[in-house]
A and B are shown apart, each in its own frame.
Chain A
Amino acid sequence: MEISKFAVALAGAALLFTLPACRKADEADTRVAAETNVINGDLAGAIGELDNVGTARSLLDFAGFDEILSGPAPYTIFLPDDTAFEGLGEEKLAFLKTEEGRPELIALLRTHIAPGTLIREDIKSAIASMGGPITVANVGGSDMKIGGSGDSLILGISGGPQLMPQSVRAGNGVIYVIDAIIPPSGS
């Protein structure tokens, strides 16, 4: 009986110790699940599944990128969230939605699109093996840096847009939501 009480107490203590670990694991699982949210459809459909990217969605649509995002070629899209576009200002944003502003909109969007499928784990391991920021080409005709450590990944050397946890893997690429617009390569 004494043993039995001791065993129960021991089991209870063990449970107390293991509960926080379980909670942490659950949180981690949730985040990983968000990072590796896999959908069967294409990038065009995946953008429709994301929250707080309504502005980017409408701009991609106005830029005529639908066929590109639903085509066979793989792309990685760094998709600014709605707050990021607010940083452009209403006037600028309104201009980008006009026919006169569309060439500039397309140029802007192109800097946010990289060729191929860039998975977060591959980005992190490349940064680790290079010992610092890595360089990624985009379809805007320039390169961009991705740096950071651990789960904190930043576009640019420092102070650039941050890769948010929210991301989606689609059949033809990956989407990372970012919290700021990627500045022009010359700036």
Chain B
Amino acid sequence: MRSPAANIVQDINDIPSPYLNGVFDLKKYRVVDLLLSRGCKWRCSYCIIGENPLRYFSFDRIKAELEVLVKKAPELSTISLITTDLLENEKFALKLLPLMREISWKRGIKFIFDINVNSLSARNIELMKLLNCADFEAEIGVQSRNNEVLFSCGRPGSKGIEEGFELLKKHAPGLSVTIGIIRGLPGDDINGYKNALSWVFSTGYDLQVRHLRILPGSRLEKNKKQYGIEIIKKYPYFVSSVNTIPRKNMLKMVRLTEDACFSYKMIRMSKALKDNFLTSASELKNNSEYPHLEFAEKFTIWLGKSRKFGKIYRDYNQKRKSETLDWELDYGSFENVSLRALLVEFVKFKSSWKATKPAGKR
């Protein structure tokens, strides 16, 4: 599907800006997208963004667009930056991030953007420090923790990723981070997936799970047979099985995600609870291959049986039957959850589990 160069706009600044040309009445909008670039320098096998080369809009244009948005959208609360990696072009990011910080500071506007995990591995401390803003939300796609799976997808592997996240935590503690993983990649299996989930939980960051979709024109689509990919033949074309993940296991992985994320999402509602979870789960390292995941799964079972949280869990289960296979942050509504009651259950669960858990690796 890759277009010959003549069939894309080479200099994307030739596309007149809808914001600067008054296409929208901005008064009513609270959330807007802002295009920073098109295309991607990576060609991940499951994605189609990289079918066209990476091209940037000029900084001057983006600055002018931001000025228009700030001036003409009085209700504006969130700007979603559309680019595959905010940090890819360091010079560009070094100019843009201070501007974003200034707008956030003056107007309280939140910025949401993607960062490619490989840019974290580059360990640019200056950039990381500029990300330290309470109004910034980064989505970082790790996709898998399995090197072979990553290589086969055309990604550079997981080397340096953990260190990159450590540095990010150190230099940008105020940044909200959501780590993305993909469920169902060819070559992965249920244990590889558990490893990825458990690792994300161990970071304490938010999680987003995308179930693999096969997009026309992607390399995975072209190599469907090679990878034994079976697709659910209706929109949104989720994968039902691949060579290393039979359908039965795929369904287990879906269920596993939803169960573990039920309690993980609750735990993340309180910093004290989250810190306690991270410490408690880490203590299980010698007894479990996937300590954080196991802890979250067991805590979900506990909550599901409890008087106060049983109904919330049943409602969550009911809802998920009609929802997409993707798991996102807004999945499940926990507005009425009492943090105090949750803490009480957490303490009870911990003492009960410690009392029953056998010693040694399970």
Are A and B associated in one complex?
Answer: no
User: Which residues of A are at the interface with B, using a C-beta cutoff of 8 A?
Assistant: none
**B interface residues (Cβ-Cβ under 8 A, vs A):** none
